[in-house]
Amino acid sequence: MLPMLAAALICADCHRDLAARFAATPMANSSGPVRAAAEHPGRVSSTYKIDGARLEWPGGAVDLAVFIGSRRMGRSYAYSQDGFLFQVPVGYYANRGAWDLAPGYERDKVPDFSRPIGADCLFCHATSSRLAPDSINRYSQVDYGIGCARCHGAGADHQQFVNPARLTGRKRDSVCDQCHLAGTARIGKAGKRLQDFQPGEDLAEYLEVFTGQSRGVRVNGHSDALAASRCKQESGGALWCGTCHDPHRAAVDYAAICRSCHAGAHRAKTRGPDCAGCHMPKSKARDGGHTVFTDHTLRLKEPDTGEIVSYFGRKPEGRDLGLGYFQIALDRRDSRYFEKAWPLLREAAARKAMDPKLYATVGALLAAAGRRREAEAYYRLSLDQDPVQPEVLHKLAALLGRGEEADRFRTRALRMLPRTF
Ligand code: HEC
Ligand code: HEC
Ligand code: HEC
Ligand code: HEC
Ligand code: HEC
Ligand code: HEC
Ligand code: HEC
């Protein structure tokens, strides 16, 4: 094949039926530009109103520019300010056919319009995105919806495409784990960019993911849950997402799949035929607001180990474990985890490396302990390695207080992430 044409290989030219089927799935429709009036416009709460594709409140209004979520369960929205994408504090809930406050905004006393739509959000809900230089939420290009390349690779010719079902073990599971593995904490490995992951690789080279301390089903925790099941653990690696789901097709006969391994279960036929109805009950996700999700642990009773462990079954590096504890401390507002994190992070920081995330975290812990001079040094080191960190710039400016340099840092931060309402 001519190399120039190869780059424009259009999957649908040859895989017409399959591409048409996939186009109708929730994954293919998981994000996109808002082109028409939102459904069910009207009053959301005493504060907010949806009018066409516009969100209004007593203090102002924004146009809904981008949606995230297919609306199978729900939909979040973003507005654009000079090309910077920010989340709006309300969302649409399909199960109730109504708008309400979006997950995470319930506790706010004042409307919050300042949460950036970061690259991680689009990593899971779009095919690809490119940030404009010097920004964390201004995009020069977004390929909305999840496309073929995310599971089959972005090769320039057909030989390079991957069929996930022909991969084995971790490389196979990694294809879905990219987005369906939530973990208790998800930590990027030093020197790696998750965006560079390609189907056929092992995600463990890009991420450390901690599990354990489960507190119920999470919105995107299907992989962690399945890994905790005896079905997965004791089937010798045979069971994976693709056993029960074909991403291009709708519903399958789940009970037949269960029976392919559990021919003898409930031989007395005392139970109904709907295996999943009992063994994979729906429950409310603890991070998903008002929607219910299917429990993939397939457990008769779920144990809680009380400690976090690597999803990949390896001994985690001290740096990754420390950052994991730090993440949990923030999520749970539990300072005991800061104490667990500190010795691990201090030891990791003693070694020189390219690791802006580590140094910024060490800076934050030192600042919290009142060790301002040391905190300042670590923030500076972090910013030397990655200058595009508005939050770190703000923290360093706060440490410095008044003065010309602090003002300069604040101005730089605001250029990267402007203040909104
Ligand atoms: C010029 C026609 C053509 C185009 C364009 C094309 N394919 Fe294919 N593809 C085929 C044919 C024919 C087969 C079946 C024979 C084979 O396995 O090579 C196939 C098979 C596959 C398989 C299964 C491979 C396996 O090992 O089981 C995958 C996955 C695949 N294509 C993905 C894609 C993706 C993704 C694109 C777009 C980026 C694409 N194809 C574009 C013709 C094409
Ligand atoms: C790029 C991120 C990404 C990858 C890779 C990914 N998913 Fe998804 N998946 C999502 C998102 C996001 C949704 C929710 C879509 C929505 O409703 O907006 C979803 C929804 C689903 C659903 C529920 C909707 C439906 O079609 O019934 C299933 C099942 C699913 N994914 C299976 C898989 C499997 C199996 C794989 C691996 C072969 C996989 N996904 C890979 C992000 C991803
Ligand atoms: C690590 C991957 C990941 C990240 C990061 C992520 N999501 Fe999701 N999200 C998912 C997956 C997977 C689902 C599908 C859950 C399901 O169907 O059970 C989902 C579901 C949703 C849904 C419900 C869609 C539907 O109708 O099924 C919305 C809305 C949503 N996410 C919004 C967001 C927003 C907004 C962000 C960023 C601020 C975000 N998500 C970040 C993976 C992710
Ligand atoms: C969320 C992940 C995901 C996405 C996105 C995805 N696929 Fe697939 N694809 C798979 C998996 C998993 C298999 C293996 C299915 C099996 O055999 O069980 C597969 C198999 C295939 C095959 C070969 C087997 C078959 O069913 O004919 C082709 C061809 C293919 N995909 C093309 C595409 C094209 C074209 C697109 C985009 C329009 C696409 N896929 C999007 C996950 C995905
Ligand atoms: C690839 C094979 C495979 C598939 C498919 C499979 N399982 Fe399993 N499952 C196993 C194995 C192996 C075990 C552990 C040994 C045993 O109990 O038979 C297990 C264990 C179980 C257990 C006992 C759990 C416990 O905590 O003791 C239940 C319940 C179960 N499976 C239900 C299901 C249901 C329901 C489905 C379909 C939704 C299903 N399984 C699909 C292989 C599988
Ligand atoms: C043993 C069978 C089985 C396996 C393996 C399995 N699922 Fe599911 N999955 C189900 C069933 C059953 C449902 C509920 C379907 C329904 O209600 O229509 C479901 C629902 C889902 C949904 C829709 C949202 C929800 O929570 O209800 C997503 C997303 C999903 N699965 C992703 C995955 C991913 C990713 C994997 C691999 C880590 C996986 N599943 C492995 C059986 C399975
Ligand atoms: C009405 C609820 C219900 C339905 C439907 C159901 N189960 Fe169960 N299942 C249970 C309960 C409760 C247990 C715990 C042990 C017991 O009481 O038999 C169990 C135990 C199991 C076990 C572990 C013990 C054993 O018998 O090996 C497996 C495997 C299993 N079920 C598979 C299935 C499969 C496969 C289906 C569908 C054909 C199914 N179950 C349908 C409720 C149900």
Q: Around Cβ 200, how many Cβ atoms within 10 Å?
A: 19
Torsion region of 326: left, alpha or beta (phi above 0 gives left; psi -120 to 50 gives alpha)? alpha
What's the gap in Å between 121 CA and the centre of ligand 3? 8
The residue-averaged pLDDT of 363-371 equals 96
CA 161 to chain centre: 25
pLDDT of 284 strictly over 60: yes
Contact yes or no for 419/84 (Cβ under 8 A) = no
State the pLDDT at residue 403. 94
Q: Around Cβ 405, how many Cβ atoms within 10 Å?
A: 11
The residue-averaged pLDDT of 263-283 equals 75
Distance, CA of 277 to CA of 259 (rounded, Å): 14
Task: Say which ligand is closest to the CA of 22.
Answer: 4
Q: Which of 231, 234, 297 to mutate to test the pocket of ligand 5 (most atoms within 8 A of CB)?
A: 231
CA 319 to chain centre: 21
Distance, CA of 57 to CA of 40 (rounded, Å): 17
CA 225 to chain centre: 16
Residue nearest to atom 21 of ligand 5 (CA): 231
154 CA: nearest ligand 1 atom? 38
Task: Say which ligand is closest to the CA of 275.
Answer: 7
What's the gap in Å between 248 CA and the centre of ligand 4? 6
Q: Which of 180, 201, 240, 252 to mutate to test the pocket of ligand 2 (most atoms within 8 A of CB)?
A: 180
Q: Around Cβ 158, how many Cβ atoms within 10 Å?
A: 12
What would the pLDDT profile of 187-217 be if each residue is shown by its tens digit?
A: 999 999 999 999 999 999 999 999 886 555 5
Is the C-alpha dihedral spanning 6, 7, 13, 19 positive or negative? positive
Compute CA distances 165 → 21, 151, 235, 391, whole Å: 18, 10, 16, 41
105 lines ligand 6 (CB under 6 A): no
What's the gap in Å between 262 CA and the centre of ligand 5? 7
75 CA: nearest ligand 3 atom? 29
Distance, CA of 269 to CA of 207 (rounded, Å): 44
What's the gap in Å between 169 CA and the centre of ligand 4? 18
What's the gap in Å between 239 CA and the centre of ligand 5? 10
pLDDT of 132 strictly over 90: yes
The average confidence (pLDDT) of the chain is 89
End-to-end CA distance of the chain: 53
CA dihedral 305, 309, 311, 312 (to 10 degrees): -140
259 CA: nearest ligand 7 atom? 35
Tokens of 418: 């402007």
pLDDT of 9 strictly over 80: no
- Minimal CA–CA distance to 248: which of 71, 69, 20, 68? 20
pLDDT of 161 strictly over 70: yes
Distance, CA of 365 to CA of 358 (rounded, Å): 11
Q: Give the confidence band of 6 by pLDDT, cuts at 50, 70, 90.
A: very low
Is the C-alpha dihedral spanning 257, 261, 265, 268 positive or negative? positive
Q: Which of 284, 294, 299, 311 to mutate to test the pocket of ligand 6 (most atoms within 8 A of CB)?
A: 294
| 108 or 85, greater pLDDT | 85
* Residue 394 CB burial class (10 angstroms; 0-12, 13-18, ≥19): middle
State the pLDDT at residue 300. 60
The residue-averaged pLDDT of 279-302 equals 69
The residue-averaged pLDDT of 85-106 equals 89
pLDDT of 253 strictly over 90: no
CB-based contacts of 134, cutoff 8 Å, min separation 6: 387, 388, 415, 416
Residue nearest to atom 1 of ligand 6 (CA): 244
CA 50 to chain centre: 27
295 CA: nearest ligand 6 atom? 26
The residue-averaged pLDDT of 234-253 equals 88
Q: Which of 1, 5, 15 to mutate to test the pocket of ligand 1 (most atoms within 8 A of CB)?
A: 15
